[in-house]
């Protein structure tokens, strides 16, 4: 029965329909796989009792024939999503043993549709990081390794636990969040599919906030079809999030037509950055050829403000984070370190509870918002955001349907390799993904090949607002041409 | 623009994060490296450009101004590190 963890969500759906196995059997297979894979540190909390209880309920519904879209599908939940009665920490010491008394809207929709919760997944502390090394629970190990070498690699971040769980067959589907690339970069580093939907497509209610104008939830999965199935359940309007959009959720699976006839795919020349490895350039070229062969027209385009997206992001995101994270004060929840007076208590609590990267970002954010600097930094960065979005708008107006770029400037790197480097070096991981958050657009990362070391590389497709169907359709073409990249378990 | 040690101390206090003297020099270097990185934005002419306020054009939904939730005091204080009689406990603020 160990093969059950190899099945896609679509396979599980078909298997349950013909009673080939039960949700309890599938869930047990995943729980056993999770136990064997603890060295990867993908899960920060396993919830086997809850999983078996939910699987038993699924089996009852399967027996009566009233099944939801994710009936009996074992899922991992990033620890940024509040789960009612189950510890939620954002992988920060400052939340300590916080046990929410409410459920995030996105996860509640997964349970509404019959999903089974396996546990909570590791991530960079408050989703601030690109390697999952800032987590208070320690780094996640990428299931991928360079053939013949023992060095452990990062799975990317911030959704590193999500990426390792999906690529290491430790969940059939996972939730993740993306503020500057936190779904797409780890997907690329682990040979999996990850989509950041349009801003407003998924409710942010009940998700620990990082930078509210950039944060979006999305799924990661092993196939494009599975990511389409998951997004359908996660998306939708929520009265509790005033930035969630009241638009019908399309049938994303129906978009998977296997061809790209009539589509105009833009290739932005500004994404050809200095020092980009030849392998990434070659991968991009292969992607272009695959889409051409599937009927798409390729057009070179210009997004002139691309290079300013990352520096503008490192003003906007820390500014919003410094404001959002003001709530961790040692009074209402989480850690508290006693002090001589209330300010001393705040300062000691926050110094002890936040990790290094989080403290650094709060301080940058506080500085750029402080008196006399607000216009020079924050307002200026928001103006640059307008220009970045305008670049994309001009491309759409000129008839471009989607934009193809590399997902990351490199394959996965070693754990610890960038720890002592300048923080900016780590930030450069998000150079291809961050523009999408700044403009609020949807973006999908899809595995497209292996590099010379045998590590996965991904391509990214960027779409028009709420045009996720075209992204699934186009990503499906790349997936068909490139094939799948299952990891060989060594753990 | 770059920050000096006094500014690092001031920002840490504004952010309500205790910083030891030993950490100041290191933090100063890191903050300056990030500020140097964002300095390239000075190349961009933003005159006449409106700052972005919403990536997706939408009007905020309104709802009836009525009580829609509440009476959950026990849930609200359930995770408090110190609580008494349904209140959050803090050090004395007013003498």
**B77 part of a folded domain:** no
**B33 part of a folded domain:** yes
**B84 part of a folded domain:** no
Residue of B44, B63, B86 best to disrupt the A interface, most CBs of A under 10 A: B44
Structural domains of chain A sorted by starting position, each given as residue range(s) with its CATH number in brackets: 1-491 (3.90.1300.10)
**Is 80 exceeded by the pLDDT of residue B95?**
no
CA nearest to B34 within chain A: A424
**B82 part of a folded domain:** no
**B16 part of a folded domain:** yes
Which contiguous run of DSSP H or E holds residue B84? strand B83-84
Query: Which residue bears the tokens 């004395």?
Result: B92
- The residue ranges of DSSP E strands in A91-250, in sequence order, are 116-121, 173-178, 193-196, 216-221
Between chains, do A383 and B49 touch, taking CB under 8 Å as contact?
A: yes
Between chains, do A366 and B46 touch, taking CB under 8 Å as contact?
A: no
How far is it, in rounded angstroms, from Cα A244 to Cα A212? 12
**B17 part of a folded domain:** yes
State yes or no: is A78 an active-site residue.
Answer: yes
Between chains, do B17 and A370 touch, taking CB under 8 Å as contact?
A: no
**B22 part of a folded domain:** yes
Helices A9-17 & A224-234 angle (0-180, nearest 10): 80
Q: Are A105 and A235 in contact (CB under 8 A)?
A: no
φ, ψ at A125 (rounded to 5°): -50, 125
Helix/strand/coil for A135:
coil
- For A120, A143, A154, B41, the CA distances from A168, given in Å and listed in that order, are 15, 6, 13, 41
Between chains, do B33 and A423 touch, taking CB under 8 Å as contact?
A: yes
Residue of B20, B55, B69 best to disrupt the A interface, most CBs of A under 10 A: B55
**Is 80 exceeded by the pLDDT of residue B1?**
no
State yes or no: is A158 an active-site residue.
Answer: yes
Find the catalytic residue in A130, A135, A158, A203.
A158
Q: Among residues 56-75 of chain B, which lie with CB inside 8 Å of chain A?
A: 56, 58, 60-61, 63, 72, 75
Q: Does A386 touch chain B (CB under 8 A)?
A: yes
pLDDT at A1: 41
**B86 part of a folded domain:** no
Q: Which long-range contacts (CB under 8 A, 24 or more apart) does A367-370 make?
A: A367/B3, A367/B7, A367/B11, A367/B31, A367/B35, A368/A315, A368/A318, A368/A319, A369/A319, A369/A322, A369/A323, A370/B11, A370/B14
Looking at this predicted complex, what is its ipTM? 0.95
pLDDT at A13: 98
Q: Calculate how close chain B gets to A372, using CA atoms only, in Å.
A: 12
Between chains, do A359 and B17 touch, taking CB under 8 Å as contact?
A: yes
Q: Does B14 touch chain A (CB under 8 A)?
A: yes
Q: Does A298 touch chain B (CB under 8 A)?
A: no
Number of domains in chain B: 1
Compute the half-sphere exposure of residue A23: CA atoms within 13 Å on the CB side of its CA.
29
pLDDT at A426: 83
Q: Does B94 touch chain A (CB under 8 A)?
A: no
Q: Does A335 touch chain B (CB under 8 A)?
A: yes
What the block records as the tokens of A358 is 């989080």
Q: Of B31, B34, B41, B36, which is closest to residue B7 (Cα–Cα)?
A: B31
Residue B93's pLDDT band, with cuts at 50, 70 and 90, is confident
Which residues have a Cβ under 8 Å from the Cβ of A214 and sit 6 or more positions away? A179, A180, A199, A313, A316, A317, A320, A437, A438
How far is it, in rounded angstroms, from Cα A359 to Cα A482? 41
Residues from chain A contacting residue B77 (CB–CB below 8 Å): 332
- In a structure prediction context, what are the per-residue pLDDT tens digits for chain A, which is 491 residues long? 459 999 999 999 999 999 999 999 999 999 999 999 999 999 999 999 999 999 999 999 999 999 999 999 999 999 999 999 999 999 999 999 999 999 999 999 999 999 999 999 999 999 999 999 999 999 999 999 998 899 999 999 999 999 999 999 999 999 999 999 999 999 999 999 999 999 999 999 999 999 999 999 999 999 999 999 999 999 999 999 999 999 999 999 999 999 999 999 999 999 998 888 899 999 999 999 999 999 999 999 999 999 999 999 999 999 999 999 999 999 999 999 999 999 999 999 999 999 999 999 999 999 999 989 999 999 999 999 999 999 999 999 999 999 999 999 999 999 999 988 888 888 888 999 999 999 999 999 999 999 999 999 999 999 999 999 999 999 999 999 999 999 999 99
Count of A-B CB contacts under 8 Å: 163
Render pLDDT for B10-67 as a digit per residue (tens, 0 to 9): 999 999 999 999 999 999 999 999 999 999 999 999 999 999 999 888 888 888 999 9
What the block records as the tokens of A165 is 């769980």
Q: Of A55, A73, A67, A53, which is closest to residue A173 (Cα–Cα)?
A: A73
Query: Which residue bears the tokens 């500085």?
Result: A367
The domain of B24 spans 5-43
Of the partner residues A96, A243, A346, the one whose CB lies closest to the CB of residue B16: A346
Helix/strand/coil for A364:
helix
């Amino acid at each position: 029965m160990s093969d059950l963890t190899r099945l896609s969500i679509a396979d599980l759906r078909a298997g349950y329909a013909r009673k080939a196995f039960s949700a309890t059997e599938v869930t047990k297979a995943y729980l056993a796989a999770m136990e064997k894979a603890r060295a990867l540190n993908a899960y920060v909390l396993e919830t086997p009792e809850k999983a078996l209880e939910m699987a038993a309920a699924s089996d009852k519904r399967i027996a009566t024939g009233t099944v939801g879209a994710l009936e009996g599908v074992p899922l991992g939940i990033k620890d940024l999503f509040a789960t009612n009665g189950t510890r939620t920490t954002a992988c920060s010491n400052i939340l300590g043993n916080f046990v929410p008394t409410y459920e995030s809207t996105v996860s509640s929709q997964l349970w509404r549709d019959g999903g089974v919760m396996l546990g909570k997944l590791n991530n960079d502390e408050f989703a601030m990081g690109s390697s999952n090394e800032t987590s208070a629970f320690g780094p996640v190990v990428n299931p991928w390794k360079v053939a013949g070498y023992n060095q452990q690699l990062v799975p990317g971040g911030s959704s590193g636990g999500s990426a390792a769980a999906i690529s290491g067959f430790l969940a059939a589907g996972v939730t993740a969040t993306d503020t500057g690339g936190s779904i797409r970069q780890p997907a690329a580093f682990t040979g999996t599919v990850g989509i950041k939907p349009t801003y407003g497509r998924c409710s942010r209610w009940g998700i620990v906030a990082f930078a509210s104008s950039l944060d979006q939830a999305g799924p990661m999965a092993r196939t494009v079809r599975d990511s389409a199935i998951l997004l359908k359940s996660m998306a939708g309007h929520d009265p509790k999030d005033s930035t969630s959009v009241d638009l019908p959720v399309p049938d994303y699976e129906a978009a998977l037509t296997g061809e790209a006839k009539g589509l105009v795919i833009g290739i932005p020349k500004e994404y050809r950055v200095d020092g980009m490895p030849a392998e990434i350039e070659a991968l991009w070229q292969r992607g272009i050829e695959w889409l051409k062969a599937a009927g798409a027209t390729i057009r070179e385009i210009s997004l002139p403000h691309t290079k300013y997206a990352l520096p503008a992001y490192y003003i906007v995101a820390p500014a919003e984070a410094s404001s959002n994270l003001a709530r961790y004060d040692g009074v209402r929840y989480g850690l508290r370190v006693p002090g001589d007076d209330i300010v001393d208590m705040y300062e000691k609590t926050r110094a002890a509870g936040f990790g290094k990267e989080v403290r650094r970002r709060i301080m940058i954010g506080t500085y750029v918002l402080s008196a006399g600097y607000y216009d020079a930094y924050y307002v200026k960065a928001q103006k640059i955001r307008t220009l970045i979005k305008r670049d994309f708008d001009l491309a759409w107006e000129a008839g471009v349907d989607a934009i193809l770029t590399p997902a990351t400037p490199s394959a996965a790197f070693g754990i610890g390799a960038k720890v002592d480097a300048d923080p900016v070096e780590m930030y450069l991981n998000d150079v291809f993904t961050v523009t999408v958050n700044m403009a609020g657009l949807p973006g999908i990362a899809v595995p497209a090949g292996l590099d010379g070391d045998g590590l996965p590389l991904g391509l990214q497709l960027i779409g028009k607002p709420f045009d996720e169907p075209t992204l699934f359709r186009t990503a499906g073409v790349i997936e068909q041409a490139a094939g799948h990249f299952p990891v060989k378990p060594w753990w | 623009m770059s920050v000096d040690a006094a500014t690092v101390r001031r920002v840490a206090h504004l952010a309500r994060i205790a910083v030891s003297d030993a950490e100041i020099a290191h933090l100063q270097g890191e903050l300056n490296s990030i500020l140097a990185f964002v300095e390239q934005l000075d190349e961009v002419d933003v005159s006449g450009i409106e700052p972005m306020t919403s990536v997706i054009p939408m009007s905020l939904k309104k709802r009836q101004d009525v009580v829609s939730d509440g009476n959950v005091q026990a849930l609200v204080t359930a995770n408090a590190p110190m609580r008494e009689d349904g209140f959050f406990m803090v050090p004395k603020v007013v003498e």
